[in-house]
Structure 1
């Protein structure tokens, strides 16, 4: 059994503020250590369930948060950027399950450090007309590759978002949002025990997956409303991108190709804007 771990940071045990998750922040070094401990708990759970291999993708910000020497020795690490598949770099249909560690709620939700991919630069997103953030888009893309998301860890808002998207995914809340930068925290030892046990249980209950080769890719439509009309206008220079209004663009295509296209949109937006992610 091969397990893929997508590791974000905002939903990690104990972290509540931008200083915890941004390089240069006064508590960032502590935050990256906390991130590694949550990831290692997930890896231990996967190994306990019989996993033979685990690939961890550092999926937060600069994607250089996890220190290789801090990671469980049974796991391989994908580190750095750019990555064509961003938060899902390295995921293929050869994996049996996806575990999302440290995830957060989408933009507009009252969750700890909630946003969608680019701080407040992205105001809203929809996949096939359904409100979506990092959780739903990762789930849909993994599903298109034939790999189920089995567990998600984060605050209670992220867990509720995952349950609303797919109630079959096991969730592990490690903190309970009081506001966007405040939460009631589970003790780290308790939270990591819950992560380890939650991952092990979810994988133990995972039914055998039929591997029927390449399946026809389903069409999907992604719509993004940006804070800046300049971003939306510039993206119209990309073939297949159409305008919904002055700040909203749309494109249709199969996942995961649409996920890769969205990554291009974010690189364009980053080149055009210079705003901190949490304001």
Structure 2
């Protein structure tokens, strides 16, 4: 059984602030150790369920948060950037299941460190008219590739967002949002045990075989900066719907990869820190 793990950081056990998750932050070094512990709990659960190949993609920020020496040796690691598929780099139809570790709610939701990909720069995203963030877009793209998402860890609001998208996904709340930068925390040992148990159970549970989908989808993004929306229509297939909103249509894995390019363009034009 081949398992893919996409590991973000904002939804990791114990982390609540930008200083916990951004390089140079006063608690970042502790944050990256906590990230490794949550990921390792998921890896142990996958091994307990019979996984023979586990690929972990460091999917947060600079994508060099996980230290290889801190990762369970049962897993391989994709580290660094740029990555053509960003948070889903390395996911292929050969994987039997995907696990999301440390995910967070979309922009505008009152979850811990909520945002959609680029801090305040992305105001809203819609997939076929449905509001979506990193959780929904990862799930939909994985489904299009033919890989089911079976488990997700994060705060309680992230878990609720995943359940609203797909109630069949097992979720593990490791903290309970009090506000965007505050949470009630589960004890770390308790959270890690819950992650391990839930991932193992989710992978053992029977599930329908996911078939890769090539149906066209429409991705719409509303930016904070009109400059971004004015520039992106220079990419073939991208159109403006108003001064700050663009959209494109195509098959989902290709749309996701194109969206990664949109973010690189936006970063070059704005160069703004997240969580403002």
What is the TM-score when the length of structure 2 is the normalising length?
0.99
Within-5 A mapping of 1:133-148: 133-148=133-148
Within-5 A mapping of 1:59-208: 59-207=59-207
Shift in Å, 1:209: 3.1
- Give the secondary structure class of the aligned counterpart of 2:84: coil
Query: Paired residue for 1:259?
Result: 256
C-alpha RMSD of matched pairs (Å): 1.0
Query: CA–CA distance in 2 between the matches of 1:66 and 1:199?
Result: 20
Moved over 2 A (4+): 206-210
Shift in Å, 1:207: 3.1
Verify: 1:271 aligned to 2:268, yes or no: yes
Consecutive unaligned residues of structure 2, counting only runs of 5 or more, are none
What is the TM-score when the length of structure 1 is the normalising length?
0.98
Query: CA–CA distance in 2 between the matches of 1:21 and 1:124?
Result: 22
- Number of aligned positions between the proteins: 276
Verify: 1:236 aligned to 2:220, yes or no: no
Shift in Å, 1:208: 6.4
What CA deviation, in whole Å up to 9, does each residue of 1:160-190 have, x standing for no partner? 0000000000000000000000000000000
Query: CA–CA distance in 1 between the matches of 2:232 and 2:143?
Result: 27
Consecutive unaligned residues of structure 1, counting only runs of 5 or more, are none
Shift in Å, 1:103: 0.1
- Give the secondary structure class of the aligned counterpart of 2:29: helix
